Structure 1
Amino acid sequence: MAEALKTAIDNLKAGDWDGAHAIVQDDPSAEAAWIHAHLHRVEGDQSNAAYWYRRAGRPVPTSGLDEEREAIARELC
């Protein structure tokens, strides 16, 4: 995984939504789209999150935010 996506995940874990979003905003990869989707889910923008989950090729999760964040970290790191 690109170092930038690891930094985005670290920012997300630290509560730096803006920092994580700035990293994934312009990354066209499916992995960045998954993080991007999660970020919009965190902010409560479900329709925008759904768009990014489609871009990532992933279903909208039914798990909690913490569980998804850990799944992202496990799978991408």
Structure 2
Amino acid sequence: MNSIEKDNTIPDKLNVHLQSLWYDAKGDWQTAHDLIDHLEDRTSAHVHAYLHRVEGDLWNARYWYNRAKQPEYKGDLKDEWAQLVKMLL
């Protein structure tokens, strides 16, 4: 179990994208999605695509990858999550 899975307090000063990924890592998909759902920028669209992959809605994920101008990620969800976090830090 990594430190994010153990700690239930969201770290201070995370941007909305990292907040969304934090909630996803905690198993709270709905909060993660609610933080991103209304945003229109490419980074939000990229996180949104990932979240729809987590949900299993691949058609919707493809739509958001397209909006993000990113290729559809085909690898493991944990790897995509880690790549997104690395990109956002």
* TM-score, L = length of structure 1: 0.92
More helix by share: 1
Where 1:26 maps in the other structure, the secondary structure is: coil
Structure 2 distance, partners of 1:63, 1:15, is: 20
Residue 71 of structure 1 is aligned with which of 83, 86, 89?
Answer: 83
Q: Identity of aligned pairs, percent?
A: 34
Q: Kindly provide the amino acid, as one letter, of the partner of residue 70 in structure 2.
A: R
2:26 to 14, 27, 32: 14
Q: Kindly state the Cα deviation for residue 5 of structure 1 after the two structures are TM-superposed.
A: 1.6
Q: Residue 68 of structure 1: SS of its match in structure 2?
A: helix
Structure 2 gaps of 5+ residues are: 1-13
Separation (CA, whole Å) in 2 of partners of 1:55 and 1:38:
12
Query: For 2:54 and 2:21, how far apart are their aligned partners in 1?
Result: 13
1:29 Cα shift? 1.1
Matched with 1:48 is: 60
Higher relative contact order (CA 8 A, sep 6+): 1
Which blocks of at least 5 consecutive residues in structure 1 are unaligned?
none
Provide TM-score, normalisation by structure 2: 0.80
Q: Which residue of 1 aligns with 2:37?
A: 25
In 2: Cα distance, 1:4 partner to 1:46 partner: 23
Deviation at 1:11, TM superposition (A): 0.7
CA RMSD of aligned residues (A): 1.1
Runs of 4+ in 1 over 4 A off after TM superposition: none
User: In structure 2, what is the equivalent of residue 58 of structure 1?
Assistant: 70
